[in-house]
Amino acid sequence: MAYAITQTCCNDASCVSVCPVNCIHPTPDEPEFGTTDMLYIDPAACIDCGACADACPVDAVFPVDRLRGPDTVFGDLNRDWFRDHPSDHAWGAPGFPRSLPGELGTLRIAVVGTGPSAGYTAQELLRGTSAEITMIDRLPVTGGLLRHGVAPDHQSTKRIAESFASVFHDPRLRMHLNLEIGTDLTHRELAAHHHAVVYAVGAAADRRLGIPGEDLPGSLPATAFVGWYNADPTVPADAVELSAERVAVVGNGNVAVDIARILLTDPDRLAATDIADHALAALRRSRVREVVLLARRGPEQAAWTRAEFLALRQLPGVEVVVEDHPQVRAAIEAAESGAGARSGPGTGSGAGLLAGLPLVPYDGSAAPGPGRRIVLRFLSAPAGLSGDGRVEALTVERTTLAADGRVEGTGTTDVLRAGLVVRSIGHRGVPLPGLPFDERTGTVAHREGRVVDPATGRPLPGTYVVGWAKRGPSGGIGANRACARETVGALLDDAVARALPVPEAGRRDFERLVRRRRPDAVGLRELRAVDRAERERGEAEGRPRVKLATVSELLAAGRRR
Ligand code: NAP
What secondary structure does DSSP assign to 537-553, as a single string?
HHHHHTSS-----SHHH
Atom of ligand 1 nearest to the CA of 301: 46
**Fold of the 3-84 domain:** Alpha-Beta Plaits (3.30.70)
**Fold of the 212-425 domain:** FAD/NAD(P)-binding domain (3.50.50)
Q: Is the beta carbon of 11 within 6 A of some atom in ligand 1?
A: no
Q: How open is the CA angle 148-154-155, to the nearest 5 degrees? A: 85
- Per-residue model confidence as pLDDT tens digits over 184-243: 999 999 999 999 999 999 999 999 999 999 999 999 999 999 999 999 999 999 999 999
pLDDT at 554 over 80: yes
> Among residues of the chain, what percentage have pLDDT more than 70?
98
Q: Which of 36, 153, 296, 443 to mutate to test the pocket of ligand 1 (most atoms within 8 A of CB)?
A: 296
Per-residue confidence (pLDDT) for residue 349, from 0 to 100: 65
Give burial (CB, 10 Å; 0-12/13-18/19+) of 471: buried
Indicate the average pLDDT of the chain. Answer: 94
Residue 350: pLDDT band (50, 70, 90) is confident
Per-residue confidence (pLDDT) for residue 561, from 0 to 100: 64
Rounded Cα distance between 531 and 158, Å, is: 14
Q: How many residues does the chain have?
A: 561
- Per-residue model confidence as pLDDT tens digits over 362-387: 999 999 999 999 999 999 999 999 99
Per-residue confidence (pLDDT) for residue 340, from 0 to 100: 46
Q: In what order do the strands lie in the sheet with 359-360?
A: 219-221, 420-423, 246-250, 290-294, 372-377, 318-323, 359-360
- CB of 335 within 8 A of CB of 250? no
Q: Which amino acid is at 527?
A: L
Overall average pLDDT of the 515-541 stretch: 96
Q: Is the beta carbon of 7 within 6 A of some atom in ligand 1?
A: no
CATH class name, domain 106-204+429-521: alpha beta
Rounded Cα distance between 320 and 541, Å, is: 32
Rounded Cα distance between 127 and 17, Å, is: 16
What is the CA(223)–ligand 1 centre distance, in A?
12
What is the CA(355)–ligand 1 centre distance, in A?
22
What is the CA(200)–ligand 1 centre distance, in A?
20
Alpha helices in 428-523 (DSSP H): 468-471, 479-496, 507-517
Atom of ligand 1 nearest to the CA of 305: 34
- Per-residue model confidence as pLDDT tens digits over 386-433: 999 999 999 999 999 999 989 999 999 999 999 999 999 999 999 998
DSSP codes, 246-278: EEEEE--SHHHHHHHHHHHS-HHHHTTTT--HH
> Among residues of the chain, what percentage have pLDDT more than 90?
85
pLDDT at 41 over 90: yes
What is the CA(90)–ligand 1 centre distance, in A?
35
The domains spanning 3-84 and 106-204+429-521 adopt the same CATH topology: no
Tell me the HSE value of 451 on the side-chain side, using a 13 A CA sphere: 25
pLDDT at 326 over 60: yes
Per-residue confidence (pLDDT) for residue 99, from 0 to 100: 75
Give burial (CB, 10 Å; 0-12/13-18/19+) of 87: middle
Residue 337: pLDDT band (50, 70, 90) is confident
Overall average pLDDT of the 128-155 stretch: 96
Rounded Cα distance between 155 and 271, Å, is: 12
Per-residue confidence (pLDDT) for residue 483, from 0 to 100: 95
Overall average pLDDT of the 40-48 stretch: 95
Overall average pLDDT of the 97-103 stretch: 76
Overall average pLDDT of the 268-277 stretch: 97
- Per-residue model confidence as pLDDT tens digits over 290-319: 999 999 999 999 999 988 999 999 999 999
Q: Is the beta carbon of 167 within 6 A of some atom in ligand 1?
A: no
Q: Is the beta carbon of 529 within 6 A of some atom in ligand 1?
A: no
Q: Which of 252, 258, 396 to mutate to test the pocket of ligand 1 (most atoms within 8 A of CB)?
A: 252
pLDDT at 528 over 50: yes
Rounded Cα distance between 68 and 50, Å, is: 18
Domain boundaries, the chain: 3-84, 106-204+429-521, 212-425
Overall average pLDDT of the 478-489 stretch: 94
Q: What are phi and psi of 142, to 5 degrees?
A: -90, 170
